[in-house]
């Protein structure tokens, strides 16, 4: 395991004019918490393949899915300590991007794409830049749905006292508190067990995360609410980035751009085909919120918006809302 954690050392760094060869090999370890067959898992692998192609194998990106290397709570420190060189935590795990957790902020996947790949996305990425962290891109998983083990969560009243697993985000926590629920922050790799042990009644996530981790075995009621999005900031260790030659930096940036363009289309397709599969399986019951029911949720979230506008930045929220799609 230690071998995997070795990262890039000074002597492994190539010079600009050196020919590719074994001594020039650069290995970048990329750790994430979800399954391989998800928008994040597939985009990470796509990025790795593009880098390998563009450098004839001189730069290798090795992807470790399913929290096999680090779980949610550990991966940011591991990145800063260069125990791993790339991670892609969800916004909800990075306080500086919590604005993206606001409910009903995005109209559709195209709107997400235009924010993530446009000027607003650049601004958002700058918020997470530090001397230890080089932000590379924003990736999307898609829209979140809520599920429960015994009933459909339709009106705000249905949430009363329900224990709902959330990611560690104060903004998401506030949303569930406004609905009268009991939000329970739990690391992604512990969700299945927590459902099984009946420590929680429900959870919110994208269809893709729900499907790939088989939450459908334990959660039989899904409300198609599309109330929020799940996405990621792709981050690289800052000093590893700085030590790369300008040529290698531009290769990684180009590969990242290509992978990112692919990501939004991919996430949309995956979530809808996996939803279709779940619907065909007959394992679960589905309920789609009407416009009127969404309005009831929006009313319940009014204080969340008011507080975010006071505490985050009304300008940023506005810039996201008006981005063209």
Residue 188 near ligand LMR by CB under 6 A: yes
Out of 138, 230, 251, 252, the only residue in the binding site for ligand LMR (CB under 6 A) is 230
Residue 117 near ligand LMR by CB under 6 A: no
Out of 82, 90, 145, 260, the only residue in the binding site for ligand LMR (CB under 6 A) is 90
Residue 252 near ligand LMR by CB under 6 A: no
Instruction: Give whichever of 33 and 100 is closer to ligand LMR, judged by the CB atom.
Output: 33
Please report how many Cα atoms fall inside a 13 Å half-sphere around the Cα of residue 196, on the Cβ side.
9
Q: State in angstroms the smallest separation of the CB of 50 from ligand LMR.
A: 21
Residue 156-175 contact track with ligand LMR, rule CB under 6 A, x = bound: -----------x--------
Two structure tokens written together for 139: 């990736």
Out of 43, 85, 141, 271, the only residue in the binding site for ligand LMR (CB under 6 A) is 141
Beta bridge partners of 182: 163
Instruction: Give whichever of 55 and 203 is closer to ligand LMR, judged by the CB atom.
Output: 203
Can you list the alpha helix ranges (DSSP code H) found in the chain? 39-54, 72-80, 109-117, 119-128, 170-178, 191-196, 207-212, 238-243, 246-281, 291-300, 302-308, 314-322
Rg (CA), the chain: 20
Q: State in angstroms the smallest separation of the CB of 167 from ligand LMR.
A: 4
Under 8 Å CB-to-CB from 213, ≥6 apart: which residues? 34, 35, 191, 192
What span, in angstroms and rounded, lies between the C-alpha atoms of 62 and 27? 7
Q: State in angstroms the smallest separation of the CB of 156 from ligand LMR.
A: 22
Residue 237 near ligand LMR by CB under 6 A: no
Q: State in angstroms the smallest separation of the CB of 322 from ligand LMR.
A: 27
What span, in angstroms and rounded, lies between the C-alpha atoms of 64 and 32? 6
Residue 7 DSSP symbol:
-
Q: State in angstroms the smallest separation of the CB of 184 from ligand LMR.
A: 12
What span, in angstroms and rounded, lies between the C-alpha atoms of 129 and 281? 44
Site residues for ligand LMR, 31-70, by CB under 6 A, read: 33-34, 40
Other beta carbons within 10 angstroms of residue 195's beta carbon come to 22
Residue 85 near ligand LMR by CB under 6 A: no
Query: Which residues contact ligand LMR (rule: CB under 6 A)?
Result: 33-34, 40, 90, 141, 167, 188, 205, 209, 230
């Amino acid at each position: 395991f230690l071998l995997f954690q070795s990262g890039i050392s000074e002597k492994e760094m190539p010079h600009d004019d050196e020919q590719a060869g074994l001594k020039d090999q650069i290995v970048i370890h990329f750790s994430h918490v979800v399954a391989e067959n998800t928008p994040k898992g597939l985009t990470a692998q796509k990025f790795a393949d593009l880098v390998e192609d563009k450098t004839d194998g001189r730069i290798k990106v090795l992807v470790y899915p399913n929290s096999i290397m680090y779980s949610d709570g550990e991966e940011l420190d591991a990145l800063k300590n260069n125990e791993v060189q790339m991670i892609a935590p969800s916004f909800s795990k990075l306080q500086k991007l919590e604005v993206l957790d606001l409910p009903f902020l995005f109209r559709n996947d195209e709107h997400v794409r235009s924010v993530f790949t446009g000027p607003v996305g650049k601004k958002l990425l700058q918020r997470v830049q530090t001397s230890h962290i080089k932000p590379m891109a924003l990736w999307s998983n898609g829209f979140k749905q809520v599920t429960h083990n015994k009933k459909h969560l339709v009106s705000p009243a249905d949430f009363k006292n329900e224990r709902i697993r959330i990611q560690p985000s104060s903004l998401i926590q506030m949303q569930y508190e406004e609905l009268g629920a009991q939000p329970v922050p739990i690391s992604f790799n512990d969700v299945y067990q927590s459902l099984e042990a009946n420590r929680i009644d429900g959870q919110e996530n994208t269809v893709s995360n729900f499907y790939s981790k088989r939450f459908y075995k334990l959660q039989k009621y899904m409300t198609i609410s599309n109330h929020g999005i799940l996405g990621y900031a792709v981050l690289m260790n800052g000093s590893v980035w700085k030590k790369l030659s300008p040529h290698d930096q531009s290769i990684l940036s180009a590969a990242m751009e290509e992978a990112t363009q692919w990501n939004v289309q991919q996430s949309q397709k995956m979530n809808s085909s996996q939803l279709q599969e779940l619907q065909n399986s007959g394992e679960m019951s589905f309920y789609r919120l009407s416009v009127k029911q969404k309005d009831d949720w929006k009313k319940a979230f009014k204080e969340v918006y008011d507080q975010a506008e006071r505490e985050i930045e009304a300008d940023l929220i506005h810039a996201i809302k008006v981005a063209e799609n």
